[in-house]
Amino acid sequence: MALATADLTANPEALRASARTCQVQLKAVELSVQLRTLEIEKLKCQITKLRRMQLGQSSEWFTRLIEESELQLEELETGEAAAIAKAEAENRPDPSKGGMP
């Protein structure tokens, strides 16, 4: 339930329940973003390490592994940008329904 589309009533218990639900959803999204960020940093470190190792080797294996890691990193970063854009769009108030007071 997005905050912009939530049916907020004057009932304090309903508002508290809605707030708790929003907090749980926010925490889940924050953990997801944190996990993605850690995966991205891990891949960047692996790529850097592999590039250093490749300098001393003439093996195509390192080159292939680096390319695969870079592709995976690009997919994660692209997915993260799309997720951020989607989250911003969901939380943006609908101008046709008027703003919140």
Which tens digits make up the pLDDT trace of 31-43?
998 998 999 999 8
> Coil, strand or helix: which one is 26?
helix
**Residue 22 confidence (pLDDT):** 93
Indicate if the pLDDT at residue 101 is higher than 50.
no
**Residue 86 confidence (pLDDT):** 77
Indicate if the pLDDT at residue 97 is higher than 80.
no
Residue the block writes with tokens 């108030």:
93
Average pLDDT over residues 65-93: 80
Structure tokens at 15: 């508002």
